[in-house]
Amino acid sequence: MAIDTNPPPQFANAYQHNATQSPLLRLPAELRDQISHLALGGLWITVTIDRYTLRSIAQPLPSPLVIPGTKDQLNNANYKSAQSERTHLLALPLTCRQLYFETQSLLYSSNVLHFPLSNDFERFIEAHFEAPVKMIMPPLPWTEDVMHGWARLFTSVFPELKCVYLDGPAWRMHGGSSAYAVECHPEDVEKQLGSKVVVLERQADGLKKHECDITCTSRTSLH
């Protein structure tokens, strides 16, 4: 998803001023888009709810889960560790109104959002129903819907959803796989029988990726 360069009417004058005064905002939109994706995307973010203020907060998930598309310290060209040394993730959108409006959607569309707790997931849905979320890792109780082929729940809540990640233990509990993590595409899972999932396994020589079949809808098994 590209940055939004169409100014809200009330900020049109500010956008024009920034286009001449700001070194960053003087750059062409295509370059700003690349910079914004590098600054805000490619992370595995855990989302929790502040129990006192009921505000959503996001932090890099300090675990060895994997993210597609970037390099890994294991010298694997396709993956990297989810543990990130990046700090001040929200600094760019909080710099000024223009950067906020241009980049706010990237936090949802360019990162994997991980929800450890069901209550936090439900509150996030209530507060961010129209957010362009594309990749999620739901809390364990919700993974039943994906494993049994009922992924329509997620695609109805997040219309732009492209990928649902399942933690390996969720599959092991159902006798399925020794997978470290599972990448599950809703459009395939909705077909139920004959659909495909992509299993990510951590082996001695790095991370391996392979397809598996879903063989039944009453109790999902991988082979």
Q: What is the mean pLDDT of each run of 10 residues along the chain (223 residues)?
A: 65 70 83 87 76 42 35 37 56 81 84 82 75 80 55 66 64 43 48 42 53 37 28
Q: What is the extent of the structural domain holding 45?
A: 28-78+88-213
Whether 55 is in a domain gets the answer yes
Q: What is the dihedral of CA 15, 129, 91, 19, to 10 degrees?
A: -10
Determine the distance from the C-alpha atom of residue 1 to the mean position of all C-alpha atoms in its chain, rounded to a whole number. Answer: 13
- Model-wide pTM > 0.75: no
> Please, is 13 exposed, middle or buried when counting C-beta atoms within 10 Å of its C-beta (0-12, 13-18, 19+)?
exposed
**Spatial distance between the Cα atoms of 7 and 165, rounded to a whole number of angstroms:** 34
Whether 108 is in a domain gets the answer yes
Place of tokens 């700003």: 32
Whether 44 is in a domain gets the answer yes
Whether 18 is in a domain gets the answer no
pLDDT of residue 66: 35
Whether 10 is in a domain gets the answer no
**Spatial distance between the Cα atoms of 204 and 108, rounded to a whole number of angstroms:** 33
Whether 166 is in a domain gets the answer yes
pLDDT of residue 40: 85
What total of structural domains would you count in the chain? Answer: 1
